Amino acid sequence: MRRRFISIGFLILLVVCWELLSAGIGKPYILPSPSAVLGSLWENRREIFFTHLPATFTVVAAGGILAVLLGALFAVAMDWSPWLMQALYPILTVTQTIPVMCLAPVLVLWFGYTVRMRVIVVILVNFFTVTVDLSDGFRATREDRAELLCTFGADRLQEFWLLRMPTALPNLFTALKISVPWSVIGAAVAEWLGAPAGLGMYSRSCMMNLDAAGLLAPLMVLTALALFMNGILGLIEMRLMRWKGNL
Amino acid sequence: MLTLENIRFCYKNSAAPIFDGLSLRAEKGSFVSIIGASGSGKTTLFRLLNGLEQPEEGRILIDGEPLSAHRQYASYMPQQDLLFPWLTVEKNVMLPMTVQKKPKEEAAAKARELLRQVGLEGWENRWPRELSGGMRQRVSFARTLCAGGDILLLDEPFSALDSITRIQLQEWLMDQWKQLNKTILFITHDVEEAIFLSQKILVLTGHPVTGLMEFTVPMPKERNREMLLLPETARLKEDLIALLRREAKAEGTEGAERIHDADEAGIDR
Ligand SMILES: Nc1ncnc2c1ncn2[C@@H]1O[C@H](COP(=O)(O)OP(=O)(O)OP(=O)(O)O)[C@@H](O)[C@H]1O
Ligand SMILES: [Mg+2]
């Protein structure tokens, strides 16, 4: 509680400094003050919250969920077949280092400025992380526990649900929590390239008008969105992982 | 009856065999203790018996039939408790029955009853991390009984217990054994524990183990702790201790070499 108090206090201090600095510079198109950003958010609340936020959220949710499903599918398949593991795992670890975001323009060529293109960007950004993290989680399964289950007569499916999945669960949550901000980033960048609606597209149109406050306002919404989703994930995690004690 | 005939076994990544020409017999319903120096192959013997390892040569027979013809005939209690940290104490005990797809209520009732018997009533809904080492061992023990095999393979089940709990559980195990008519194979480091509990004591000696030294405990099935002080029993205890001490000495010269071998083979334990 005390620590939280300190960090909130520090945050307020930072915002105040920003406000003062911006007043000192006196050029709102270079450094808008926090109050100006909030003002811009309030002024355009209709457009931001009812047109652009839903558009972005759809892409984030669809892309995020598909990425997790797809990534989990690959991880499970690799866990199931040592052969697939040997074939894919090295490739996956290498592809992780590709700046997938830079592929977005190529996707525009292929799919145009469509929802599908933006969803694919979000999937690509997250897929590898989920696969690799979850796969590492499965591999952390202790062999002696698996052997014990085997002496009870467990088949492979039972071993998976009773042992491998619970072992990998903490890793799954780590992957999910990393995926949330990256999904938001992926969606925003894809919208930057061009989209009929979305917070990224809104932010870009403000940039064209040299409206710095308007540019930052949707960023605040995006941040809040990511924080909110991770908060929910944290609650689920806490519930599922009570056995660990204080998280 | 459990029979091992001329077993030869060698771990895949090591050169020296653990067993060579090992034979063993355990009558149905008997209580057999197995003692031997650390690293002599006691746990390995159990791994062969529950099918986790296959012998290179020789046969393992249950009532004259090969091991593979039987399902779930043996319940194994590993040396480490291996509780599943994400399951409550009760769910851990139920695990074998969960795997066997028994009805939930039946399994839960059985688990609660077993937990009561090992003195853990009221701990059903706790997490393993909240338990002491000795309590975890008792949970693991209850889980083994829950598996319901005809042969119990207990790998040092009481090693982490304080002496009072240990004596209580030894006596409880004796009662269980008399009631349930199960065959029990019991690994222990403690000579006195082996004598108090078992009818027959087998000692593993040598590298590789080529045969077992067999000692019959000179006490009736109905026994009590005072009988440990009888001259015949005391004699047996001294003999066993002397034997183990000789083994340990031989181990001292030979052991370092074997540890070196194990390192070379990259064994990570
Ligand atoms: N998986 C393995 N691969 C190779 N060697 C092994 C393996 N497990 C055990 N060994 C070796 O087999 C020998 C017997 O091991 P085992 O675990 O059966 O001993 P133990 O009699 O149970 O000892 P303790 O009393 O310390 O539990 C040891 O020398 C050990 O190094
Ligand atoms: Mg052992």
Residue-wise pLDDT tens digits, A67-104: 999 999 999 999 999 999 999 888 888 877 888 778 88
Judge whether A244 is closer than 8 Å to chain B, CB to CB.
yes
CATH of the domain at A151: 1.10.3720.10
Q: Is A127 among the domain residues?
A: yes
Strand partners, B24: B4
Which domain covers residue A107, as residue numbers?
50-245
Which domain covers residue B25, as residue numbers?
1-73+178-269
Q: What is the pLDDT of residue A100?
A: 77
Q: Which of B13, B90, B99, B102 would best serve as a mutation to test chain A binding (most A beta carbons within 10 A)?
A: B99
Residue-wise pLDDT tens digits, A201-231: 999 998 888 888 888 999 999 999 999 999 9
CB count, 10 Å around CB of B154?
25
Q: Is A83 among the domain residues?
A: yes
Contact at CB, A151 and B50, closer than 8 angstroms: yes
pLDDT tens digit at each of 247 positions of chain A: 678 889 899 999 999 999 999 888 888 888 888 888 999 999 989 998 999 999 999 999 999 999 999 999 999 999 999 999 999 888 888 877 888 778 888 888 999 999 999 999 999 999 989 999 999 999 999 999 999 999 999 999 999 999 999 999 999 999 999 999 999 999 999 998 888 889 999 999 988 888 888 889 999 999 999 999 999 999 999 999 888 876 5
- A201-206 long-range CB contacts below 8 Å, 24 or more apart? A201/A52, A202/A47, A202/A48, A202/A52
Q: Is B48 among the domain residues?
A: yes
What is the pTM (predicted TM-score) of this model?
0.84
Q: How far is the CA of B162 from the centre of ligand 2 (A)?
A: 20
Judge whether A242 is closer than 8 Å to chain B, CB to CB.
yes
Q: What is the pLDDT of residue B252?
A: 62
> Shortest CA distance to A38 belongs to which of A48, A30, A50?
A48
Q: Structurally, how many domains does chain B consist of?
A: 1
Q: Structurally, how many domains does chain A consist of?
A: 1
Q: What is the DSSP string of B54-105?
A: --SEEEEEETTEEGGG-SS-EEEE-SS----TTS-HHHHHHHHHHHTT--HH
Q: Is B13 among the domain residues?
A: yes
Q: What is the pLDDT of residue A246?
A: 67
Residue B36, classed as helix, strand or coil, is strand
CATH of the domain at B182: 3.40.50.300
- Min CA distance, A2 vs chain B (Å)? 27
Ligand 1 closest atom vs CA B44: 18
> Which residue ranges in chain B fall short of pLDDT 50?
255-256, 258-269
Nearest to A148 among B78, B85, B100 (CB): B78
Q: Is B227 among the domain residues?
A: yes
List CB contacts (< 8 A) between B80 and chain A: 144
Q: Is the peptide bond before A28 cis (omega within 30 degrees of 0)?
A: no
Q: Does ligand 1 lie within 6 Å of residue B52's CB atom?
A: no
Judge whether B78 is closer than 8 Å to chain A, CB to CB.
yes
What pairing do the DSSP bridges indicate for beta strands B57-62 and B65-66? antiparallel
For residues B220 and B51, the answer to whether their CB atoms sit within 8 Å is: no
Q: Is B95 among the domain residues?
A: no
Q: Is A11 among the domain residues?
A: no
Supply the residue whose CA is at minimum distance from atom 24 of ligand 1. B38
Q: What is the pLDDT of residue B63?
A: 85
Judge whether B127 is closer than 8 Å to chain A, CB to CB.
yes
